[in-house]
Chain A
């Protein structure tokens, strides 16, 4: 991918400074990104990278070919130009489209820096990154998988189509993992038995083993000692799990066999098959982190991009319009747009935390109580007091002297050393060797505290009214846990104590611990739903079309949670590995009121059979509508009531058959406590 064409090089050189400065600004704002390597690629290379999920080498598979065809057509017909793609690794690699306008490149760089911070600090990513290898090592891992699977596919004794078929089967089940746990180290590909399968009979086995040893590092050796054959065998006992196991893939890997059509029996897998399963499963764990945090991650990147590009003038005045247009397009794309949803939720998090901090201080002013808050406190005065210090707000060449005065007084908002250097540069003092360009990068004069004041959320025009909107209930709630009231004599004193970085602090801690599910659950408020005009829709059996169901915040949240929980897929667990005492597999769909797509479920069941080698079963619940009931409901303008029927689907290599579901199994898959239905009672009236 290293590109030595002159044009790309020129572009790459021009990006050195923005990349360096963006990193410095990001760090000054408190971000702690992984190092990022920037590459400039042409559109065809970009299409290829996108096809391969942001990595240069993946295992051989038709899927990448399909992605490429699709992306190429999108690109060619202007349906979706990709500005960048960044992969989650330490260091991260970001690939920027050569044809981006300079303003786009800068925007993309700031965006990427924030992604790299998210990768490095979000603990859901950490589940993969902190598995004892000192980082994600993603590119190296995927490359190793690529080599392994490619060499298996090349073996004379292995049918290449069989390898591909196995990859497809595992891929069909790639979301049935336990994404809330770290990738199980025991099942990573460095396992005993590997050496035998990577080497073709014709190859020199010693060389193959040596190549493998090169790949190993210490922690992997340690792992090998811990999780040896004996340990694996010990795990083999659990074919009848007491509690349902969410990691279906792991179960299939550990206890599955392959079906031999000739003998009609299940036989043990070839070692290479286990290698392939492990590789794909391991990648599923790697990508689970990003699938679980898409809204947060894109919103986070968009937030900091906006702060750096717009707020800090990282786009030059001549580039600002291009940038604003770029941003408008990103935020304006239709549908449930993760950039927009995430950006809005993050701003909401910031605003609420900042407001809380101000109210906390105001409630400590002598004589102020929740009851008299709105009458005693002059919120206009508060707004004025919260305005950033003029020299901080307008930091730059014109305010150098003022900033110098502040620095001399030991003000922690000012970077005294930077101000000093800027002053010497201005006064023509040649000793200042590395001049700082305060005209272009005024933020260099400020500390994080200063920047927090400069970008203070409650001083932004669109959020001025936020304090006024706080209800008495909210005030009372907050006052209940307040000690040390009457700390301040005046409002002025109280505001002087306000931590302007409170909003950011809250955001940083949220970005560490949340994923999309918890993020939406915790921060999607009524206010948010109302202002964004969000609504839920449902399919009406009576009207035979989709209808708006609810505009209630609680309902919108429920529906969004359905979309984000478990990658928006139904939860499938292993109920029994020795079903009916015949070694059959029983999977259970944990029914939450939303039915399965049965056609696709049946097709997936066939893939599971390939990994189990014996008959496979799926327990689920389906909602049936009686024709008469539908007709009656239509007449009355109502929605018919469906009947929930337990079903067991079975596949034994022939046809998928349908059976009644045992009541005891049904009880194990029904989840009563959740309800994602948002249809109102008098919906169609």
Chain B
């Protein structure tokens, strides 16, 4: 009794026992994922009950802004938001949980003990970094206003002085304009003689006698003792800043730092046998292996491109939507696909792109096509990793030798992997087999759990 046991029983439901429940199991399909969001289907067993037909029942919704008009199309409500636990309630039907590809890659690394280090290829562009460098000219929009203001303010502070204080100097007994100028400059006040002369003329006008005759202070010393100079910063704080002299030589324009970026690009070419022998279950197995590998590589690299090739005796390129579904009637010649792969790869120079070529099929191939054409093609293709996934081989066919031949040709090469999948449970092992072939080259030794997993995987051979 207890959680461990209940989880174990749940895992077995519909798989190793309780076949009566298998019709109520939904895994969700692998579609519905995007480049930035992966929806992982989870197993849900939905016991039947007497329920209303959803269409017949209709429902109640709540308009976000304003009441909607009758007749307007709506999505049936997304489901109740249960934030806090509700006693006795079973949660809504979340048949998926969502994660982003990077998270998925991390999880897979963790789960499988992988250590795939994406390779940065050569500098393919200079990327603009942050706007951290500055220059004295540039477009208006990049003007560094902060800097401009600071410089203006500095200038203002440097030229500003306590006018009242300097003016007071004119009231020293016997002092003329030159005396005051000399005194002010001694004090380090940034005042010009012309300003003092102007001020003297004004004061003389107001007083009606020349400045030398004004004798409020006995001497400059007496003035210094009697009047407190107010520092500029205080005055600015008190009176505010009415004007800051902006000059064009203070202008600084920001421009971006140039960063050499090694972009980690990946192109993945998925190849699938669409010949008559590839029945529904086999196609599904291919999807189950390829889709997570695509997600994984999407999560690992900065930019990922996917191309899809299907073949029977001929090969042609398709969209992802079609890729897993197509079934044609023809025979099989795997090398046709590799010819197309080589052609497609010319668009992705190996110096700039990490390349992956994943092929899948049931190992059937025409005559000696594998030995004569496919293996030489695989040898000539530059790629980080090539893989062949064999699904449910040998429906009795004697020519289902492709996987074996590829395996024996490449042996323990760390850029060619062969994996075999005959039921959904093998999928994880196959993914591990493939992805660890590349990462295993430079990565650390797998931990104990991983070793055990590989051993399990071996049983199917």
Contact = CB atoms under 8 A, between A and B. Distances in A.
Given A66-B44, A69-B42, A539 B56 contact: yes
Contacts of A452: none
Interface in A23-82: 46, 48-51, 53-54, 57, 60-71, 73-74, 77, 79-82
B73 A545 contact: yes
Interface stretch (A228-236, A405-413, A425-433, A526-534): A526-534
Contacts of A66: 10, 43-45
A136 B48 CA distance: 29
A617 B350 CA distance: 68
Nearest to A284: B88
Contact of A589 (B1, B50, B69): B50
Given A534-B60, A545-B73, A69 B91 contact: no
B51 A597 contact: yes
A533 B67 contact: yes
A647 interface: no
A329 B3 CA distance: 31
Interface string A312-344: 000000000000000001100111111100000
A71 B53 contact: no
Given A539-B54, A548-B69, 14 more contacts: A80-B83, A83-B83, A85-B87, A175-B50, A336-B61, A337-B80, A338-B80, A537-B60, A546-B75, A551-B67, A559-B58, A589-B50, A603-B23, A684-B71
27 contacts: A62-B18, A62-B45, A70-B42, A77-B98, A85-B85, A290-B87, A294-B89, A330-B84, A334-B79, A335-B77, A336-B61, A337-B81, A532-B62, A533-B63, A533-B65, A533-B67, A533-B68, A535-B70, A536-B60, A546-B58, A548-B68, A548-B74, A549-B70, A551-B68, A559-B59, A559-B60, A569-B50
Contacts of A172: 47-49
Nearest to B55: A539
The 8 closest A-B pairs by CB, nearest first: A333-B81, A65-B10, A85-B85, A533-B63, A603-B48, A539-B55, A65-B6, A65-B7
Contacts, number: 274
A678 interface: yes
Contact of A291 (B47, B61, B75, B89): B89
Interface string B6-43: 11111111000110110110000000000000000011
A313 to B, nearest CB: 22
B221 interface: no
A624 to B, nearest CB: 12
B86 interface: yes
A84 B84 contact: yes
B18 A50 contact: no
A594 interface: yes
A298 interface: yes
A163 B56 CA distance: 35
- Which label, helix, strand, loop or mixed, suits the secondary structure of the B interface? loop
Nearest to B84: A83
Contact of B7 (A68, A83, A84, A532): A68
B448 interface: no
Contacts of A532: 62
Contacts of B94: 70, 73-74, 79
Given A77-B99, A164-B9, A604-B49, A539 B58 contact: yes
A176 interface: yes
A165 B18 contact: yes
Contacts of A611: none
B64 interface: yes
Contacts of B52: 562, 568-570, 594-597
A545 B54 CA distance: 12
Contacts of A533: 62-68
